[in-house]
Structure 1
Amino acid sequence: MADRKSERQVGIIGSGLIGHSFAMLYAAAGYRVRMYDIKPEQLRHALSIIDDQLEHLSQNELLRGKLTIKEQRALITGTNDFAECVKDAFFIQECVNESLELKREVHAKIDPICRKDAIISSSTSALVPSLISENLTNKNRFIVCHPTNPPFYAPLVEVIPAPWTDPEVVITTKELMAEIGQVPVIVKKEIDGFVFNRIQYSIIGECWRLYEEGVMSAEDIDKVMSEGLGRRYAFMGPLEITYLNADGLLIFGDLYRETLYRVQCSFGPPKKMEGPTLEKMHNEIAARIPLDKLYERRKWRDIRLASLQKLINELDESHPK
Structure 2
Amino acid sequence: MAGKWSPPANCSERPVCVLGGGVLGRRIAACFVAAGYHVRIRDPSAKSRDAAAQYIKENLSSFTAILPQPAKRQGSCETTDDLAAAVKDCWIVFEAVPEVLPIKESTFADLEQHAPPDCLLATNSSSFKSGDLLSKVKDVTKARVLNTHYMMPPQNVIVELMTSGHTDPEIFPFVEARHREAGLHPVTALKESSGFIFNRIWAAIKRECLSVLAEGVSTPEVIDSIWKEQYGSRVGPCEMMDSVGLDTVEHIEQHYVDERGLSPKPLQWLQNNFIKQGKLGQKSDEGGLYPPPTPGKRTKLIFLNTGLSEPLGDKPMAQIMKRGQILQMIAEDRASRPIALVENQALPDGIDVCDGRMYWTCMGIPAENDGTVQSAKLDGSDIKTVIPSGQVHTPKQLHIDQVSKKLYFCDREGLRVMRCNLDGSEHEVIVQTGDWKSEPDKAKVQHNWPVGITVSRKLNKFMWTQKGGSKASDGWIYSAGLEMPQGSTASNRQDIEVIQKGLPECIDLEMEDDSGVLYWSDRGELPLGNTLNKKQIIGEAPAAEKALGRQIIAQGLGEGIGLKFDRAENCLYVADMAGRLWKCNPDGGLKEKIFEGATHAYTGLSFVKV
Q: Same fold (TM over 0.5)?
A: yes
Report the aligned-residue RMSD.
4.1
Deviations 1:7-55 (A, max 9, x none): 2211111111111111110011111111111223321221122222237
Query: Structure 1's 309 and 83: CA in aligned 2 closer, same or farther, altered over 3 A?
Result: farther
Instruction: Tell me the equivalent position of 1:143.
Output: 146
Q: Which amino acid aligns with 2:266?
A: K
- Cα offset, 1:122, TM superposition: 0.7
- Cα offset, 1:288, TM superposition: 6.5
Where in structure 2 are the equivalents of 1:8-27 lying within 5 Å? 8-27=14-33
Instruction: Tell me the equivalent position of 1:45.
Output: 51
Q: Does 1:225 align with 2:227?
A: yes
Where in structure 2 are the equivalents of 1:1-321 lying within 5 Å? 7-54=13-60, 57=62, 62=65, 66=70, 71-72=74-75, 75-137=76-138, 138-148=141-151, 150-231=152-233, 271-275=265-269, 279=273, 285-287=289-291, 289=293, 301-303=335-337, 310-311=597-598
- Cα offset, 1:230, TM superposition: 4.6
Q: Which amino acid aligns with 1:144?
A: N
Deviations 1:241-300 (A, max 9, x none): xxxxxxxxxxxxxxxxxxxxxxxxxxx9674233499739x7894336469x99968975
More strand by share: 2
Q: Which amino acid aligns with 2:161?
A: V
Report SS of the residue matched to 1:225: helix
Normalised by the length of structure 1, the TM-score is: 0.71
Deviations 1:46-87 (A, max 9, x none): 1122222237x49xx95756369x944xx1111222112112
- Larger RCO (CA within 8 A; separation ≥ 6): 1
- Cα offset, 1:166, TM superposition: 0.5
Q: Which amino acid aligns with 2:44?
A: I
Report SS of the residue matched to 1:41: helix
| C-alpha contact (below 8 Å) 2:108/2:136 kept by paired residues | no
- Partner Cα separation in structure 2 for residue 106 and residue 17 of structure 1: 19
Report SS of the residue matched to 2:267: coil
- Partner Cα separation in structure 1 for residue 212 and residue 203 of structure 2: 14
Query: Structure 1's 230 and 142: CA in aligned 2 closer, same or farther, altered over 3 A?
Result: farther
- Partner Cα separation in structure 1 for residue 270 and residue 190 of structure 2: 40
Normalised by the length of structure 2, the TM-score is: 0.39
| C-alpha contact (below 8 Å) 1:35/1:85 kept by paired residues | yes
Q: Which amino acid aligns with 1:86?
A: V
- Partner Cα separation in structure 2 for residue 277 and residue 92 of structure 1: 32
Query: Structure 1's 312 and 188: CA in aligned 2 closer, same or farther, altered over 3 A?
Result: farther
Q: Which amino acid aligns with 1:142?
A: V
Deviations 1:137-175 (A, max 9, x none): 311000010111x23321111101111111112222222
Instruction: Tell me the equivalent position of 1:256.
Output: none
Deviations 1:102-131 (A, max 9, x none): 011111111022222211101111101111
| C-alpha contact (below 8 Å) 1:205/1:271 kept by paired residues | no
| C-alpha contact (below 8 Å) 1:5/1:32 kept by paired residues | no
- Partner Cα separation in structure 1 for residue 19 and residue 223 of structure 2: 36
| C-alpha contact (below 8 Å) 1:5/1:30 kept by paired residues | no
Which entry has the higher C-alpha Rg, 1 or 2? Answer: 2
| C-alpha contact (below 8 Å) 1:11/1:35 kept by paired residues | yes
Q: Which amino acid aligns with 1:54?
A: L
| C-alpha contact (below 8 Å) 2:106/2:136 kept by paired residues | no
- Partner Cα separation in structure 2 for residue 145 and residue 278 of structure 1: 32
| C-alpha contact (below 8 Å) 2:66/2:154 kept by paired residues | no
Report SS of the residue matched to 2:209: helix
Report SS of the residue matched to 1:112: helix
- Cα offset, 1:99, TM superposition: 0.9
Q: How many residues align?
A: 272
Instruction: Tell me the equivalent position of 2:303.
Output: none
Q: Which amino acid aligns with 2:101?
A: L
Q: Which amino acid aligns with 1:11?
A: C
The share of aligned pairs that are identical, in percent, is 26
- Cα offset, 1:228, TM superposition: 1.6
| C-alpha contact (below 8 Å) 1:93/1:123 kept by paired residues | yes
- Partner Cα separation in structure 2 for residue 29 and residue 184 of structure 1: 15
| C-alpha contact (below 8 Å) 1:130/1:163 kept by paired residues | yes
| C-alpha contact (below 8 Å) 2:224/2:235 kept by paired residues | no
Q: Which runs of 5+ in 1 are unaligned?
A: 235-267, 315-321
Report SS of the residue matched to 2:108: helix
